[in-house]
Structure 1
Amino acid sequence: MSCLILIGMMGAGKTTVGKELARRRGVRFADVDQEIIARTGVSIPTIFEIEGEAGFRKRESQALNDLTRESGIVIATGGGAVLDPGNRELMAGRGVVVYLNVPPQILWERTRTDRNRPLLQVENPRARIEELYRARDPLYREVADIVIDGGRGNPGTMVRQIEKVVQNLDKKFPCEP
């Protein structure tokens, strides 16, 4: 079974790019965070408040496992999905993994007013983004089949870059027209 899996930091554009990729390919799009919200009936910040990050990560792993069993799907993961070695192994084994690499400064600009990001509810969220980026970037690169540098560009440009590279990969994305 194969699928297209988008990874990267919060604010990298995984959902925006993922929706457009799925639309262009005529396949289903799924956002892991939205899947968790649908399953629990509560927001991500509420899950963090009640269960902590560990509880959220357990739910994230289960949702990712379920979604990656589908063929012909574009999946946007949460930014921290790569923290679990089992998630990295699962993604690498079940799909084509695309890392949307966006510089921390741009991530900060995109997320600074978003109160639905529990990991940024700290005294210095900008420093927190830089810290998370330094810790996660090597993990994203470890699992990625494709690295797309993003930031100021148009999401449509990123979609076209991904489609071009996916066509040239040995791993065949099964939803090609």
Structure 2
Amino acid sequence: MAETTPSLRQRLGGRSLYLIGMMGSGKSSTGRPLAERLGYGFVDADAVIEQVTGSNISEIFERDGEDHFRDLETQVLRSISERHSLVVATGGGIVTRSENWGMMHQGIVIWLDVERDQLLLRLQKDSTQRPLLQMNDPGEAVDEILSRRRPLYNEADLTVVIGTETADVVADGIIQLLPELIKDPPKQRPE
């Protein structure tokens, strides 16, 4: 029998869930229903960056460069990680800085691993400007980025492989998998 969500929320003990994965993997679209099912808040880290700077991600990359963007991303993550009971949709490259891992591992890190061809389809259908894909062959760019980031994504606490499932189905799958991941505090032994 599936664990009830209030019981799952209690076992999470306020730990936030950090969704990582490639651009277009569905972190935001999965994060919203996941947060709703858990009674958690939802935060899209890229949206926070855009709100704070008054610029979209592409503009920040173009104007200030990737390193500056990664600095902003780390600052926003630091602020988010001070809160609890959140589902956080991170930017795809957040895994490239080790200090970000220290903050995310205070909660539970979940990699949304979308199959490559499905990821390319999603990115082609999406109107969002992706600075790292602005080249002649987006497929080649995705392969190159994935080859660098896959070992980092593999450091997640939980990996969810996604094909054509909807965000709601993925959120339900995460709810089913979380109880296996949560380690209850050890019971005290009598002296």
TM-score w.r.t. length of structure 2? 0.84
User: Is the contact between residue 96 and residue 171 of structure 1 (CA under 8 Å) also seen in structure 2?
Assistant: no
1:50 CA displacement: 1.1
- Structure 1: which 5+ residue stretches go unaligned? 173-177
Change (3 A) 1:170 1:24: closer
Pairing of 1:4-83 with structure 2 (within 5 A): 4-83=17-96
Residue 164 of structure 1: aligned partner: 176
Compare CA radii of gyration and give the structure with the larger one.
2
Residue 152 of structure 2: aligned partner: 139
Residue-pair matches, total? 170
SS in structure 2 at match of 1:10: coil
Q: Does 1:123 align with 2:132?
A: no
Residue 110 of structure 1: aligned partner: 122
SS in structure 2 at match of 1:75: strand
State the identity as a percent: 38
**Deviations along 1:123-168, whole A, 9 cap, x unmatched?**
11111011111111110112x1110000211222211121122122
- Structure 1 stretches of 4+ with a deviation exceeding 3 A read none
1:171 CA displacement: 4.7
Look up the equivalent residue of 1:26 and give its one-letter code.
G
Partners of 1:72 and 1:163 lie apart in 2 by 14
Partners of 1:59 and 1:105 lie apart in 2 by 31
Partners of 1:135 and 1:35 lie apart in 2 by 26
- Structure 2: which 5+ residue stretches go unaligned? 1-13, 185-191
Change (3 A) 1:64 1:171: farther
Q: Does 1:98 align with 2:110?
A: yes
> Which stretch shows the higher mean deviation, 113-122 or 3-12?
113-122
1:103 CA displacement: 1.7
- Structural RMSD (CA): 1.4
Q: Does 1:151 align with 2:151?
A: no
Change (3 A) 1:2 1:121: same
